[in-house]
Structure 1
């Protein structure tokens, strides 16, 4: 009897852990493809899992942070989904590459068009973002996930430092330190330049070695020529003396 109760309690506890784990991790999130550096550009994926057993996700709305407006937001086409980009006027215009930007993308909406996110599945929605702010460590996006049964899940709660994760956390994009190149290629460019400089140095050394070798060869041939000439003169003198004798 006691064994049966223990087994039952263990099963309930395990089921609760699995259920809570699934709820904790089954939320809309955003991750960069590579690196999202301050002051640069990045491609990010909004990952949308389906957390319902009896409904499919048919719509995703992502609101961009108004405190850090982005001058460039471009969605990548996703088969089976249509995308709509909404722009809004900026209270304070942005200066980007010497141009004044008076409006920026405030929301991106994906709506199922022949496809959907079924139970037990997830879908990624890529966006190209920039120029990322230089005075922030992260960007907080707010997302609405709509199911085909009309249910809407609002992923809009911001996490607070030292507090437990909220029930419906907003997607957060962590920003890394600036690379010195706004397109994220600073390190690669520097490496390429170092490689080219190293190549030039090797070529220069090779040319110097070749020139040195040529000079040495020319000197040796010159000395050999002089010796041959001296030997010829000496042979001619000796031959003349023999004839005279």
Structure 2
């Protein structure tokens, strides 16, 4: 069989690399929320992961809208060196009841981070903007955070398109947090625990059985050896 030339192999490797980058780059370039899922009704912390897509410009501003159609009573930002965070609030037509029985009439509707002289996200870099929020709504399966990303050359990328089931992903999808039901999450958590318990019990049971069989085997072997020795002694006894 004739082997491939070095030039041919290099060409194939180069094509594979270009193809991989073409597939992976768009997914990496999206502004996303991490982790991408949380449980309905819980308090959690998430990060908005923001890559810089430009070859020449740096990201200097990020605006994240917090939806109020399914209000979230508590939203707080985590300090980030090089960036200043400000929040905007909106009054609710219908107050939200907290676990303590208090009524919330005003909620955070927008968070804006602006880079100072030491901040910004430069080409080839990314940054994570972390917030805590809760309680997460129980009457929807997702929270969509429409986001604007501003570069120091004045260009703005609008990450506001909602992904529709059964349709191709839009060019600029909005960061989306998927919400799971509390009972489903609890059942899913219980299954691994039960499996872990079974796996933990199985080795102990197997070890006990193996040990018992081993002892029985040794006893049988010892009996066989003794029988053979006695048989040889009888066979060797002198006849009168």
Residue in 2 that maps onto 1:218: none
State which of 43, 55, 58 in structure 1 corresponds to 2:57.
Answer: 55
**Aligned pair count?**
179
Instruction: Please say if residues 70 and 139 of structure 2, whose CA atoms lie closer than 8 Å, have aligned partners that are also in contact.
Output: no
State which of 23, 44, 57 in structure 1 corresponds to 2:46.
Answer: 44
Residue in 2 that maps onto 1:95: 97
CA distance in 2, matches of 1:82, 1:58: 11
Q: Name stretches of at least 5 consecutive residues in structure 2 with no aligned partner.
A: 194-240
Structure 1 counterpart SS, 2:38:
coil
Instruction: Please say if residues 63 and 111 of structure 2, whose CA atoms lie closer than 8 Å, have aligned partners that are also in contact.
Output: yes
Kindly state the Cα deviation for residue 8 of structure 1 after the two structures are TM-superposed. 8.0
What is the TM-score normalised by the length of structure 1?
0.65
CA distance in 2, matches of 1:179, 1:127: 25
Structure 2 counterpart SS, 1:105:
strand
Instruction: Please say if residues 32 and 42 of structure 1, whose CA atoms lie closer than 8 Å, have aligned partners that are also in contact.
Output: no
CA distance in 2, matches of 1:162, 1:83: 36
Report 1:94-133 matches (<5 A). Answer: 94-96=96-98, 97-113=100-116, 114-133=118-137
Instruction: Please say if residues 66 and 145 of structure 2, whose CA atoms lie closer than 8 Å, have aligned partners that are also in contact.
Output: yes
Instruction: Please say if residues 37 and 179 of structure 1, whose CA atoms lie closer than 8 Å, have aligned partners that are also in contact.
Output: no
Report 1:82-231 matches (<5 A). Answer: 82-96=84-98, 97-113=100-116, 114-178=118-182
Kindly state the Cα deviation for residue 69 of structure 1 after the two structures are TM-superposed. 1.1
Decide which structure has the larger Cα Rg and report it.
1
Which consecutive segments of 4 or more residues in structure 1 shift more than 6 A? 7-10
Residue in 1 that maps onto 2:222: none
Q: Name stretches of at least 5 consecutive residues in structure 1 with no aligned partner.
A: 192-245
Give me the CA root mean square deviation: 2.8
Kindly state the Cα deviation for residue 53 of structure 1 after the two structures are TM-superposed. 1.1
